[in-house]
Amino acid sequence: MAKERDASLDHLLSFDGYVYVEDDGCWAKYEIRLVEPSAEIPHGIRYNLTYHDKYNRRIIGFDNAHAVKMKKKKYCGRKITWDHEHDRKRVRAYEFESAEQLIVDFHKAIDGLKKGK
C-alpha cells in the first residue's frame, strides 16, 4: 500500500524561494524542493530554512543539504545525519517528523531567539 502524502507538504513547498525581511533588518529565507527519496533523505524533501541577522550572518538554520557527523560519545558508534539544525553555538541532529512540524520548529527557534532563550 502506498504511503499517504503529508497534507502539509504543499504548504511547505509553497514557501520555496520566499524571503521576508523584518523591521529590525533580520531576515529569513526558505529553499524547499522535492527530490527522489534516498537513504540520506527518506522523506524526499530537500530543505534549507535560514534566519539571518541584519549583518547577513546566519543565526538559525534547519537543513539537510549535507551530512553532519555528530559528536561521538565514548561508547557509541559514529552517527551521520543529514537532517540537522544550526544555531550560533552548535549543530545538532534534527528529527524530521513532517513538513508542518519543520515549519513550526523553525518558527519556534526564531521566537526563542527573539525572547532570549
Q: Give the confidence band of 103 by pLDDT, cuts at 50, 70, 90.
A: very high
Where are the chain's structural domains? Answer: 9-114
Q: Which residue has the higher pLDDT, 73 or 45?
A: 45
Burial of 13 (0-12, 13-18, 19+ CB in 10 A): middle
pLDDT at residue 79 is higher than 60: no
Burial of 31 (0-12, 13-18, 19+ CB in 10 A): middle
The pTM (predicted TM-score) of the whole model is 0.81
pLDDT at residue 66 is higher than 80: no
Tell me, what's the pLDDT at 87? 82
pLDDT at residue 80 is higher than 70: no
